[in-house]
Amino acid sequence: MTDFALSGPRPASGPRKASTVVGLIFLVASALIGGNAFGTRERLWGSETPTARAPAASRDVGAAAAAGGATETTAPAPPTQSVLRSQPWWQGVTTLDGAGTTTAATFTIVPGALQWRVRWTCDTGHLLVRAPSQTRPVVDAACPGPDVGYGARTGPITLQVTADGPWHLVVEQQVDVPLNEPPLAAMTAPGASVVARGSLYRIDQVGTGDVLVYRLPDGTYALRLDNFFVTANSDLEVQFSSLDAPHSTDQVAHATQVSVATLDVTTGSLNFMVPPSIDPVQYKSVVMWCEVQHSAYAAATLRPA
């Protein structure tokens, strides 16, 4: 086989020389892109990785704004952006009350929201709720009754309510950003202490982060998951287990376990009040459990703090 431009010892003509240079530049450029130098590969061809977004600071936008004056869903500055996504969860946006036909107060659905919903109640007649740019009404139902209507548009929303009597609307948006709750006030109050802590490890799925058990000044207990991530699923719960260091679903299933809370958010830093009927001191580990799959996703061995 004859040698071509790159190999020949023959004197190179102008075009040959140019094509050789272009070929070598192409190779070097390929090497740089292949190594994703300066993020070139992802800039050029796009990314499957979710765009980094600011986590939510509260389960309720309105409460967060009232408490700290923060913007709707972003954590207090400086926001720590994250590419991790949680199992989609519902975040409270606002509550609207009224009677008869009216234009409700404007609320804002964040751009990254997957959808939003209105949980409504009314007493008499008919309730019709319309959102701008949405052909189908959000709610079109006879009263009395509680039910849910859905919307998809993001940004400022002003609902047009047509009703025959009083009505009550709870607006929530579904987001998949992490939830970074600050520690509860009682956790940092005088008399509160961390009684046990541990680090999550994988069992059937991915689980990372720290688990802290607080004894609060009033004698109750609270659980905090810090910098937490568990593989997303909609049916997870946090449990205490009698096992010291569970390493399989079978072990967890055959030990004493008690549910602390449903895990609607699967990424971030979260607080849970431990039900008064549970004494955390009796247990040796925390397990992220999926009842539907009957699977222990992750666990953390608790050690006295």
Footprint of another protein (CB under 8 A): 1-7, 9, 20, 23-24, 27-28, 30-31, 33-36, 41-42, 45-50, 83-85, 176, 202-206, 231-232
Q: How far is the CB of 115 from another protein (least distance, A)?
A: 15
Question: Which helix H or strand E contains 159, and what residues bound it?
Answer: none
CB 211 within 8 A of CB 229: no
Q: Is 296 exposed, middle or buried (0-12, 13-18, 19+ CB in 10 A)?
A: buried
Q: How far is the CB of 9 from another protein (least distance, A)?
A: 8
Whole-number Cα distances in Å, 144 to 56, 122, 263:
34, 5, 32
- CB nearer another protein, residue 35 or residue 156: 35
Cα–chain center distance at 8: 59
Q: How far is the CB of 82 from another protein (least distance, A)?
A: 11
Other Cβ atoms less than 10 A from the Cβ of 110: the count is: 21
- CB nearer another protein, residue 17 or residue 254: 17
Question: Which helix H or strand E contains 215, and what residues bound it?
Answer: strand 207-215
d(Cα 259, Cα 238) in Å, to the nearest integer? 6
Question: Structure tokens of 3?
Answer: 């040698």
d(Cα 19, Cα 117) in Å, to the nearest integer? 60
Q: How far is the CB of 206 from another protein (least distance, A)?
A: 6
Q: How far is the CB of 241 from another protein (least distance, A)?
A: 19
Q: How far is the CB of 41 from another protein (least distance, A)?
A: 5
- CB nearer another protein, residue 72 or residue 176: 176
- CB nearer another protein, residue 1 or residue 77: 1
- CB nearer another protein, residue 48 or residue 218: 48
Ordered alpha helix ranges (H), the chain:
14-34, 40-45, 61-68, 185-188, 249-253
Residue indicated by tokens 């659905």: 109
- CB nearer another protein, residue 91 or residue 267: 267
Q: How far is the CB of 5 from another protein (least distance, A)?
A: 6
Adjacent-strand bridge partners of 72:
none
d(Cα 179, Cα 194) in Å, to the nearest integer? 22
- CB nearer another protein, residue 27 or residue 99: 27
